Structure 1
Amino acid sequence: MEMDDSVPIEFIFEADASRSSPRLAQLTESLKLEHQLLRVPFEHYKKAIRANHRVAEKEISAVISGVSDVTTDGNLSSGDAVNRLNSLVSKLHGLKRKLEEGNRVEHLQAQKCRVRLDHLESAIEENMSEWNGTHLNRILVDYMLRMSYYDTAVKLTECRKIQNLVDIDIFQEAKVVIDALRNKDVAPALAWCAENKSRLKKSKSKLELQLRLQEFIEMVRAENYLQAIKYARKYLAPWAATHLKELQRAMATLAFKRDTECATYKVLFEPKQWDNLVDQFKQEFFKLNGMTLEPLVNIYLQAGLSALKTPYCYKDDCTKEDPLSQESFQKLALALPYAKLHHSKLVCYITKELMDTGNPPQVLPNGYVYSAKALEEMANKNNGMITCPRTGLVCNYREIVKAYVS
């Protein structure tokens, strides 16, 4: 059984929503934001089906070929023929065990899909408070797993009983590769590439090439030049047709060596190359598993920050009540466009009250604007004198002028 990769999972629900209840239509809208929740177990479900199909096809072909050999070989004695047939029967028993294990994996992923669908369907008005709490815990676990806080993620998952709604087991697989790369070992990453070779090739991934190049560079660093050349002939040469420039640059390190000061080649020996490999593996891992490249918590925060971002947020005198006054939020919103505010409001810096016709804005001699109510209260307390809270300017109340907003 094969499943078509070209059909998005959302299509199923959109088709049903077009002829079903408004509630299902709302679920479809929610699914667009919850793509990862369903996509991850769905991708692993397809992967299990493909693996079982390949195993069955390979083993059955071998058995059929073996039976054919027994029946056509006239020189076999009856005892040898029986032995060969018994061996083929043993192979079939082994295939049965493999398929039973594969079926268990398929069932587990199908069950996860069902649980997650039920979770989405439970997003009804009477249950939204509980549903939102679970949703928040899910995206926090997702963030912790991406940031390598595995133990904390496991504890939160167990505490909130959301094991079937998060993907700890999948991230644990990635952890093995990430830990190895941080220890300057590419073997687990190369094994992962081999396991997912067809899908990585389909997405035109360069991860395997970068891993091979790094392994070559480490040989040059260790001054094992002969071994490096043999390695390049075996593992790098097949990439020459499509990535000749990268290969030429790497091969030049044989001449420039590890202590070169030439920036073009010196960078290849820097430790940050291993960090780049970790980041590249994460990106490929997320894509293959149908995950968002950014943590979900970042995406939700950016959705809110995009409605708040204005040029004023990046000025030194931005009010502390504005989330974008925080450096971490400013960094997160850096690539976002400014909010398109069709209806602006003026809020007094001092009282935090709205400035309107009943409480008009007033301008100090230094150009700063505050509400009439705030300045009147300040003047009454200070014998008619006004002190600008942001610059410290002191002026007489009679010096302020009314601002007219068009």
Structure 2
Amino acid sequence: MEMDSLPNGSATSPGPSPGPTAAAAPSSKLSHLSESLKLEHQFLRVPFEHYKKTIRANHRVVEREMSAVINGVSEAADRDDMSSDDAVNHLSSLVSRLQGLKRKLEEGSRTEHLQAQRCRARLDHLESADVESLSDWNNTRLNRILVDYMLRMSYYDTAAKLAESRNIQDLVDIDVFQEAKKVIEALQNKEVGPALAWCAENKSRLKKSKSKFEFQLRLQEFIELVRAENNLRAITYAQKYLAPWGTTHMKELQRVFVTVAYKSTTECATYKVLFEPKQWDYLVDQFKQEFCKLYGMTLEPLLNIYLQAGLSALKTPYCYDDDCTKEDPLSQEGFRKLAQPLPYSKQHHSKLVCYITKELMDTENPPQVLPNGYVYSSKALEEMARKNDGKITCPRTECPVRTVHKSLTAGFGTNSGVRTCPGKIMVIAQPGITIGNLNIFLRRVQYASVEKYSMGLRVQFQVSMKARMMHLLI
């Protein structure tokens, strides 16, 4: 559905030449494409962050192994009592270590190459977007969004099969989510080891973002020791792992340390909550937030974000009425629930969409009103009349084509037979419109900024007040 305001004009004004009109469509598509590309930040950020992480990991391996080898050589050089056989054995062990480092570097190089290839594939995908292939490009983006949703909902196998069937493995982040899967499953099984290992791998970045996730993991491990009534070990653990956090999280530490004096069955509300199983669910949520922040991902699935953006553009109070047309997406209960917290659409100009062709009605395709009050586009009625010997079949009645006359709405300008009010509402006041039809029309218009399917068309009104509209007829 088009959300841009229509230009003001008159039905009597000459239409633009075919040349500019033909050029306007690609220009509009190009504008929409440019706006779409602005939403692809995560698409490039995730593989780039993964690439940098792989480089850092390989760099740490080289530093660690080379430092060990250099120290080993220095140690052998400083020993005067080392025999030739001992020296040969010592150097052989160092050579073996270097060979192991070589294998690790080869594996790391392959991983880096795959990550670089993925970044290149995504750049190529964005560069391939143009007006001619926009439909295919949008289909690929839809598949990417669906894979992202499946991965976030833990449907890993289904996501992998969809990516493989659409040949978009380099355009989705299955391996990144597989990394998160291991940590999430461990936390759900009440194990903090994989999560602590993940924190160690990303220590510098977590520290830079002032993350408390590692601290929360340490607290939970302390609580589990207290739950097992292993207080002595819990105190030793606190001295080793929790004491360094005392300068920044003293209040939380004091609260947790008091649990040593209680059991897990305590009824004291202040400390009972620390022993509840939901603390592990809280850690899972914390990890997901830190993980998304680390890779520059959105917390919400992309599918939810795109759906909410679209639904907020379509949502009107009329959508929740019992007589809401089935063509409105918000007539479905699932979409209604998703749109419940969203604001209503704000429309500055009225728009008409033909009930038959689903095309926008404007000065090039003006609306036509039938004697029964229903309105359709000129294109639809001309096509219908051509196929039915000059007869136009309405959902409720039939009429000769000669009885049809033009009608205008706000956003298209004013003309004879159309009157306006301060609320910028246009009332169709042609001879074929009776007071009875107008009353039916008024009963259907009940809200401000409401998108309504009435009289065979979809209308969006800025203001709708029966008294003002009736005043126009006086």
Scaled to the shorter chain, the TM-score interval is 0.7 to 0.9
Corresponding residue for 1:141?
147
Corresponding residue for 1:163?
169
State whether structure 2 residue 181 is matched by structure 1 residue 175.
Answer: yes
Corresponding residue for 2:65?
59
> Residues 79 and 305 from structure 1, CA distance in 2 versus in 1: closer, same or farther, beyond 3 angstroms?
same
Matches within 5 A, 1:31-180: 31-180=37-186
Question: Aligned match of 1:301 in 289, 307, 311?
Answer: 307
Deviation at 1:140, TM superposition (A): 0.3
Distance 1:61 1:209 in 2: 30
Highest Rg: 1 or 2? 2
Matches within 5 A, 1:306-321: 306-310=312-316, 313=319, 321=327
TM-score, normalization: structure 2? 0.65
Residues 362 and 401, structure 1, Cα contact 8 Å, conserved in 2 = no
Corresponding residue for 1:280?
286
Distance 1:188 1:352 in 2: 65
Structure 1 residues 293-330: Cα deviation after superposition (integer angstroms, max 9, x where no partner): 21111121122123233455567776665434555445
Deviation at 1:202, TM superposition (A): 1.4
Residues 183 and 195, structure 2, Cα contact 8 Å, conserved in 1 = yes
Structure 1 residues 102-159: Cα deviation after superposition (integer angstroms, max 9, x where no partner): 1111001011111111211221222222221111111101001101112221221222
Distance 1:226 1:101 in 2: 44
Deviation at 1:331, TM superposition (A): 4.8
Matches within 5 A, 1:21-32: 30-32=36-38
Deviation at 1:233, TM superposition (A): 2.5
Deviation at 1:258, TM superposition (A): 2.6
> Residues 309 and 212 from structure 1, CA distance in 2 versus in 1: closer, same or farther, beyond 3 angstroms?
same
**Which consecutive unaligned segments of at least 5 residues does structure 1 have?**
1-22, 375-399
Matches within 5 A, 1:381-400: none
Task: Return the structure number with greater relative CO, CA threshold 8 A, min gap 6.
Answer: 2
More helix by share: 1
Distance 1:107 1:204 in 2: 32
State whether structure 2 residue 469 is matched by structure 1 residue 403.
Answer: yes
**Which consecutive unaligned segments of at least 5 residues does structure 2 have?**
1-28, 354-371, 377-408, 410-426, 447-451, 456-465
The residue identity in structure 2 corresponding to 1:304 is G
Q: Aligned with 2:313: secondary structure?
A: coil
Corresponding residue for 1:224?
230
Deviation at 1:222, TM superposition (A): 3.3
Residues 148 and 302, structure 2, Cα contact 8 Å, conserved in 1 = yes
Corresponding residue for 2:10?
none
State whether structure 2 residue 270 is matched by structure 1 residue 204.
Answer: no
Distance 2:32 2:288 in 1: 32
The residue identity in structure 2 corresponding to 1:38 is L
Deviation at 1:362, TM superposition (A): 3.9
Distance 1:351 1:102 in 2: 72
Structure 1 residues 46-105: Cα deviation after superposition (integer angstroms, max 9, x where no partner): 111112222222222333333334444444444433333333322222221111111111
Residues 363 and 401, structure 1, Cα contact 8 Å, conserved in 2 = no
Structure 1 residues 195-227: Cα deviation after superposition (integer angstroms, max 9, x where no partner): 222221111111112222222223333333333
Structure 1 residues 359-398: Cα deviation after superposition (integer angstroms, max 9, x where no partner): 687457x966489x96xxxxxxxxxxxxxxxxxxxxxxxx
Residues 186 and 215, structure 1, Cα contact 8 Å, conserved in 2 = yes
Deviation at 1:171, TM superposition (A): 1.3
Deviation at 1:279, TM superposition (A): 1.4
Using the aligned pairs only, state the percent identity.
71
TM-score, normalization: structure 1? 0.75
Residues 362 and 402, structure 1, Cα contact 8 Å, conserved in 2 = no
Q: Aligned with 2:138: secondary structure?
A: helix
Corresponding residue for 1:242?
248
Alignment RMSD (CA, Å): 3.8
Corresponding residue for 1:339?
345
The residue identity in structure 2 corresponding to 1:303 is A
Distance 1:160 1:279 in 2: 31
Distance 1:331 1:367 in 2: 27
Distance 2:443 2:290 in 1: 53
Residues 314 and 345, structure 2, Cα contact 8 Å, conserved in 1 = yes
Distance 1:105 1:299 in 2: 32
The residue identity in structure 1 corresponding to 2:469 is A
Matches within 5 A, 1:232-271: 232-271=238-277
> Residues 211 and 72 from structure 1, CA distance in 2 versus in 1: closer, same or farther, beyond 3 angstroms?
closer
Distance 1:52 1:24 in 2: 42
Give the length in aligned residue pairs.
359
